[in-house]
Amino acid sequence: MNAPTKFLFDVDFAGGANRKPAISLAEHAQKLAEAEAAAHRRGYAEAQADAKAEAERRVAGALERIADGIAEAGKALTAIETRLECEAVEVAVAVARKLAPALIAREPFAEIAALASDCFGQLVAAPHIAVRIHDTLYTTAREKLDDIVRARGFEGRLVVLAEPEIAPGDCRIEWADGGANRDSAGADAAIGAAVAAYLSARRGPTAASGTTDAQRYVEEIAG
């Protein structure tokens, strides 16, 4: 019987301390440098992305504030335009009310003649027409209305009546089935109500109180 063969190791474990490293020091240094460079690039890219995001956030915030400012400026401009428009209407009405009496006093028959001329032209076949005017205008009205009657071809009977309660410049024209009236006081009241309603709608319920320069001017005109 043969003796068992001993197993012989080919590797000497005791000599592991003398083995050479897998890579050289130069390669290790190069790979370390490359890793550091890559990390630096990643950090720089992340910082750039963060900076860009922050810049975009700030720009968005600034644009939002600008938009809010523009909206507020638009509201303020609209309010100013509305105020100026309303003040212009008030001044125009005040000036008209101031000038109207002077114009009527200068030409008290002008508006009466215009209304009479229109009526006579449409009522040429009426049997008669009565014109009521202020008593101080009777003589002038009698002469001028006769001229208007002839010019408009009216063939009926014209009656001119003097009535002191009718304001100078006003008149009432009456015929068989109708009439026309020039009432300056009534017209002024209607205009005043219409203007007040318009201004109230334009100014709205939140209109600022207080007396403006235009309102003081209107008060001076009215006074």
163-208 pLDDT, tens digit per residue, is 999 998 899 999 988 999 999 889 889 988 998 898 888 887 755 5
Note the pLDDT of residue 131: 94
Going by C-alpha positions, the residue among 190, 199, 133, 191 that lies closest to residue 167 is 133
Q: Where are the domains of the chain?
A: 107-182
64-68, 89-93, 209-213: which has the minimum mean pLDDT? 209-213
Amino acid at 94: A
- The stretch 20-42 carries a mean pLDDT of 77
Tell me if 174 sits within 8 A of 130, measured CB to CB: yes
Q: What proportions of the chain, in percent to the nearest 5, are helix, strand and coil?
A: 65, 10, 25
pLDDT reading at 221 higher than 80:
no
Note the pLDDT of residue 171: 93
Distance CA 25, CA 32 (A): 10
101-123 pLDDT, tens digit per residue, is 888 888 888 889 999 999 988 88
SS3 9: coil
CATH class of 107-182: alpha beta
